[in-house]
Amino acid sequence: LNIKVVDVPDPPETVRVTSVGEDWAILVWEPPKYDGGMPITGYLMERKKKGSMRWMKLNFEVFTELTYESTKMIEGCLYEMRVFAVNAIGISQPSQNTKPFMPIAPTSEPLHLTLEDVTDTTATLKWRAPDRIGAGGIDGYLIEYCKEGSEFFYQ
């Protein structure tokens, strides 16, 4: 007599958002340590606005990759996501939620950079503010320089 006990898998692990854009985020995770005794057939993902109790399904067919791009998000809103593992027996409990994250469009580059004055020890630069300022705003500017012919930049 040979008995094989099977169950739903454990939840996926190390679920995190690795990058965000204006209305998207990249979600990555690791497979569960325990597959329930059956191969993992895929994953289901959900997201919600932080503070909300209502999770929204992001896919209805099982997704077989370990990286997912969530789109159609609202810039400037905080979100959380989670992932479920699926095998032939059923669906796991949800993973831990991601840390809250906010889709933000990048700010464009400053415009009309000009060198106004140069001395032996100083250089005066002027520029106009960027045309597009993302939801994150501008906290300041980072100026880098290098000696002619060098590839090493200073701040």
Per-residue b or e along 18-36, where b marks 16 or more CB atoms closer than 10 Å to that residue's CB: eebbeeebebbbeebeebb
Look over the chain and give the mean of its residue pLDDT values, rounded to a whole number: 90
C-alpha to C-alpha distance for 28 and 15, rounded to whole angstroms: 6
Q: Check: CB of residue 103 under 8 Å from CB of residue 20.
A: yes
pLDDT range class, residue 48, cuts 50, 70, 90? very high
pLDDT range class, residue 135, cuts 50, 70, 90? low
C-beta atoms surrounding 53 within 10 Å: 6
pTM of the model: 0.71
Full set of structural domains in the chain with CATH: 16-91 (2.60.40.10)
Q: Look at residue 38 in the predicted model and tell me its pLDDT.
A: 94
